[in-house]
C-alpha cells in the first residue's frame, strides 16, 4: 500500500510544481519544465525566452523561487537551472500560447494556424501539426476542429516519443478552444524514415502575417457614408423615401 501511494504522489507532486512554475513564470516566456529526482537533489530545468526575469539581480529571484518550492511542495534540496530558448517557434508551448493569444484577440483561426505552421517550418522543424478544436465559429455554432500539418509526424510507436507536444486552451466569447501543437525538432533521426526537405502548400506559404495590423482603406468608409447621387445631382432613386399616405 505504501508503494501504491508513493507511485501516485510523485507524479502528482511533479504536476503541481509544473503548474506553479507555469503560472509564476508566464511573463518570462516559459517553454518547458523538466524535473528529475535523484537520491541527493531534485534538479529542475527551466527553458525560458527571458532568463533575466527568473535569475534577477545577483540571483535573488531564483533563490526566492527555490525557497518557495522547498517550503510549499516539501521538496528536499531543489536545484533550479535556467536554459535560454533561442528559437521560440520550435517550442510547442510557445507556439500554442501565440495561437491562443491571437484567437482571443479575434483573429481568424484558420489564418492563425496557417501563419504559425509556416513560421515553425521556416524555423527548421522537420514536421509540425497544429489542431484547434472547439467553438470556432460564432456564438451558438457547433464545435468543430481545424488541422494543419506539414512534414512527417509519427503518431504511435517509439518514434512518437521524439516529438514535442503541448496542449493550450484559448478562452473566447463563444467558448473554450483547445490547441494541440506537435513539432519535430531539427536534427531528429527516425529509424524508419529518411529526413527530407519540407514543402509547404501554396496556401500556407502565402499566409498573411497575423502580427501585423490589417491595412485600413480610408476611402471605403467615406464612399459608403455618402448617399448615391443621380446624374441631375439629386438623390438616387434607390435612396429616395417612398411616399407617405398615412398619419404621422
Q: Which residues pair with 151 in a beta bridge?
A: 127
Alpha-carbon gap, residue 57 to 71, rounded angstroms: 22
Q: Could you tell me the CA-to-CA distances from 71 to 11, 66, 76, 185 in Å, in that order?
A: 18, 9, 9, 36
| pTM confidence score | 0.72
pLDDT at res. 63: 82
Quick one: pLDDT at residue 237? Answer: 52
Which grid coordinates are listed for 205? 506559404
Distance between CA 113 and CA 145 in Å, rounded?
Answer: 12
Q: Phi and psi (nearest 5°) for 83?
A: -120, 130
Distance linking the first and last C-alpha atoms of the chain: 87
Mean per-residue pLDDT pooled into runs of 10, the chain (248 residues): 57 78 78 82 84 72 83 81 86 91 90 92 90 82 87 85 89 89 88 75 78 54 45 52 57
What is the model's pLDDT at position 58? 67
Residue 178's pLDDT is: 93
Cβ partners under 8 Å of residue 75, min gap 6:
13, 17, 42, 69
- Indicate left, alpha or beta for 192 from its phi (over 0: left) and psi (-120 to 50: alpha): alpha
SS percent in the chain: helix, strand, coil, step 5: 35, 25, 40
Write down the pLDDT at residue 128. Answer: 92
* Residue 235 DSSP code: B
Amino acid at each position: 500500500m505504501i508503494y501504491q501511494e508513493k507511485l501516485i504522489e510523485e507524479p502528482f507532486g511533479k504536476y503541481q510544481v509544473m503548474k506553479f512554475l507555469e503560472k509564476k513564470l508566464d511573463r518570462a516566456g516559459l517553454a518547458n519544465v523538466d524535473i528529475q529526482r535523484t537520491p541527493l537533489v531534485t534538479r529542475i530545468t527551466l527553458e525560458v525566452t527571458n532568463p533575466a526575469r527568473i535569475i534577477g539581480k545577483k540571483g535573488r529571484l531564483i533563490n526566492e523561487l527555490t525557497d518557495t518550492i522547498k517550503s510549499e511542495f516539501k521538496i528536499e534540496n531543489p536545484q533550479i537551472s535556467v536554459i535560454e530558448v533561442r528559437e521560440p517557434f520550435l517550442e510547442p508551448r510557445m507556439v500554442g500560447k501565440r495561437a491562443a493569444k491571437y484567437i482571443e484577440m479575434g483573429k481568424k483561426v484558420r489564418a492563425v494556424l496557417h501563419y504559425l505552421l509556416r513560421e515553425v517550418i521556416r524555423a527548421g522543424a522537420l514536421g509540425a501539426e497544429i489542431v484547434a478544436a472547439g467553438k470556432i465559429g460564432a456564438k451558438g455554432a457547433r464545435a468543430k476542429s481545424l488541422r494543419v500539418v506539414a512534414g512527417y509526424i509519427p503518431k504511435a510507436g517509439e518514434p512518437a516519443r521524439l516529438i514535442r507536444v503541448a496542449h493550450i486552451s484559448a478562452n473566447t466569447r463563444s467558448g473554450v478552444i483547445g490547441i494541440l501543437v506537435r513539432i519535430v525538432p531539427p536534427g531528429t533521426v527516425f529509424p524508419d524514415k529518411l529526413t527530407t526537405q519540407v514543402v509547404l502548400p501554396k496556401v500556407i506559404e502565402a499566409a498573411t502575417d497575423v502580427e501585423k495590423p490589417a491595412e485600413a482603406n480610408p476611402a471605403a468608409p467615406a464612399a459608403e457614408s455618402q448617399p448615391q447621387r443621380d446624374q441631375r445631382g439629386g438623390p438616387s432613386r434607390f435612396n429616395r423615401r417612398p411616399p407617405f399616405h398615412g398619419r404621422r
